[in-house]
Structure 1
Amino acid sequence: MTVRLYDSQAQALRDFAPLDPSNVTLYVCGPTVQSGPHIGHVRAALSFDLLRRWLTYRFGRVTFVRNVTDIDDKVLLNATDAEPWWALAYRMEREFTRAYAAVGILPPTYEPRATASIPQMIELIERLIEAGHAYPSGSSGAGASGDVYFDVRSWPTYGALTHQSIDAMEPAADADPRGKRDPRDFALWKGAKADEPASAVWDSPWGAGRPGWHIECSAMSRRYLGAEFDIHGGGLDLRFPHHENELAQSTAAGDAFARYWVHNGLVTVGDQKMSKSLGNFLLADDVLRDHDPLVVRYALAAAHYRSSLDISPTSFDEAEAALDRIRTFQQRATRALGLKGRMTAADLPDEFAAALDDDLGVPQALAVVHERVRAGNTALDAGDHAAAATAAVEVGRMTGILGLNPSDPQWRTAGGGAETAALDALVQTMITQRAQARESKDWAAADRIRDAIAAAGIALEDGPDGTHWSLNDG
Structure 2
Amino acid sequence: MLKIFNTYTREKEEFKPIHPDQVNMYVCGPTVYNYIHIGNGRSIVAFDTIRRYLEYLGYQVKFVSNFTDVDNKMIKEAARENITVPEVADKFIKAFYEDVAKLNVQKATINPRATDNIPEIIDFIKVLIDKGYAYESDGDVFYRARRFDNYGKLSGMDIDQLVEGASEHIGEAEFDKKQDPIDFALWKKAKPGEIKWDSPWGEGRPGWHIECSVMSTKYLGNNFDIHGGGQDLEFPHHENEIAQSEAETGEKFVNYWMHNGFVTVENNEKMSKSLGNFVTVHDLVKTTDPQVIRFFLSSTHYRRPLEYSQANLQKASDNLERIKTAYSNLQFRLNDASAKSDDSIAPAVDKIVSDYKEAMNDDFNVQNALTSIFELVNLANNYSSKDTINSDDTQKILDTLADLAGILGVKFDQQGKLSDDIQQLVDQRDQARADKDFATSDKLRDKLKEMGVILEDTPQGTRWHIDG
Equivalent in the alignment of 1:396 = 402
Q: Deviations over 1:43-102 (max 9, x none)?
A: 110111011111122243011100000011111111126311110111011111111111
Per-residue Cα deviation, 1:242-281 (whole angstroms, up to 9, x for no partner): 0011111111222321111000111111111000111110
Aligned match of 2:274 = 277
1:62 maps to what in 2?
61
The corresponding residue for 2:71 is 72
Question: TM-score normalised to the size of structure 2?
Answer: 0.84
Match of 1:212 among 202, 207, 210: 207
> Quick check: 1:268–1:311 contact (8 Å CA) kept in 2?
yes
Distance in 2 of aligned mates of 1:70 and 1:182: 28
Q: Which whole-Å deviations, capped at 9, do the CAs of 1:368-419 have from their partners, x for residues lacking one?
A: 111111122112223362455543332122123332132369xx9xxxxxxx
1:229-244 matches, cutoff 5 A: 229-244=224-239
**Alignment partners' CA distance in 1, 2:336 and 2:23:** 34
Please state whether the residue corresponding to 1:62 is helix, strand or coil: strand
Secondary structure of 2:186's aligned partner: strand
State how 1:189-200 maps to structure 2 within 5 Å.
189-194=187-192, 196-197=193-194, 200=195
Instruction: Tell me what 2:262 maps to.
Output: 266
The unaligned stretches of length 5 or more in structure 1 are: 138-144, 341-345, 413-427, 447-457
Is 2:332–2:463's contact at 8 Å kept on the other side of the alignment? no
Q: Equivalents in 1 of 2:101, 2:207: separation in Å? A: 29
The equivalences for 1:244-323 within 5 A come to 244-253=239-248, 254-270=250-266, 271-323=268-320
Q: Closer, same or farther in 2 for the Cα pair 1:192/1:462, shift >3 Å?
A: same
Q: TM-score, normalised by structure 1?
A: 0.83
Structure-2 residue corresponding to 1:425: none
In 2: Cα distance, 1:461 partner to 1:469 partner: 10
Of 321, 324, 329 in structure 2, the residue corresponding to residue 324 of structure 1 is 321
Query: Match of 2:149, as an amino acid?
Result: P
The DSSP-based 3-state class of the residue aligned with 2:312 is helix
Q: Partners in 2 of 1:365 and 1:459 — Cα distance?
A: 30
Q: Which moved more, 1:390-399 or 1:228-237?
A: 390-399
Aligned counterpart in structure 2 of residue 157 of structure 1, from 130, 150, 155: 150
Q: Distance in 2 between matches of 1:128 and 1:39?
A: 37
1:85 alignment partner AA: V
Tell me which residue corresponds to 1:108: 108
- 2:360 corresponding residue in structure 1: 356
Asked whether the equivalents of residues 295 and 408 of structure 2 are also in contact (C-alpha less than 8 Å), the reply is no
Contact map agreement 2:68 2:113 (CA 8 A) in 1: yes
Partner of 1:9: 8
Q: 1:82 to 1:186 in 2, by over 3 A?
A: same
Aligned match of 2:450: none
Task: Please say if 1:375 is aligned against 2:375.
Answer: no
Mapped to 1, the partners of 2:21 and 2:293 lie a distance apart of 32
- 2:459 match: 462
Change (3 A) 1:401 1:440: closer
**SS at 2:385 equivalent:** helix
Q: For residue 29 of structure 1, what is the aligned residue in structure 2?
A: 28
Secondary structure in 2 matching 1:273:
coil
Structure 1 residues 437 and 243: CA distance shift in structure 2, 3 A: closer
SS at the partner of 2:256?
Answer: strand
Q: How does 1:36-185 map to 2 (within 5 A)?
A: 36-80=35-79, 82-137=82-137, 145-169=138-162, 170-171=165-166, 173=170, 176-185=174-183
Aligned counterparts of 2:98 and 2:207: Cα–Cα separation in 1: 27
* Cα offset, 1:290, TM superposition: 0.8
CA distance in 2, matches of 1:335, 1:34: 46
Q: Which residue of 2 aligns with 1:337?
A: 334
User: Equivalents in 1 of 2:368, 2:464: separation in Å?
Assistant: 29
Counterpart residue number, 1:454:
none
CA shift, 1:436, in A, is: 5.4
Separation of aligned partners in 2, 1:365 and 1:65: 26
The alignment partner of 2:157 has SS state of coil
> Cα gap change, 1:181/1:392 in structure 2, threshold over 3 Å: closer, same or farther?
same
Q: Measured at CA, do residues 193 and 15 of structure 1 come closer, stay the same or move farther in structure 2, by a change above 3 Å?
A: same
Structure 1 residue 111: Cα displacement: 0.6
Q: 1:406 — aligned with what?
A: 412
Amino acid aligned to 1:385: I
Which amino acid is the alignment partner of residue 17 of structure 2?
P
The aligned residue for residue 188 of structure 1 is: 186
Deviation at 1:20, TM superposition (A): 0.5
- Asked if 2 retains the 8 angstrom alpha-carbon contact of 1:333 and 1:339, the reply is no
Q: How far apart in 2 are the matches of 1:312 and 1:16?
A: 34
- Distance in 1 (CA, whole Å) between partners of 2:433 and 2:97 is 52
Q: Secondary structure at the match of 2:5?
A: strand
Letter matched to residue 399 of structure 2: V
Query: In structure 2, what is the Cα distance between the partners aligned to 1:209 and 1:87?
Result: 19
Q: Which residue in the other structure is 1:455 paired with?
A: none
Percent of paired sites with the same residue: 39
* CA distance in structure 2 between the partners assigned to 1:173 and 1:408 by the alignment: 57
**Distance in 1 between residues matched to 2:407 and 2:305, nearest whole Å:** 23
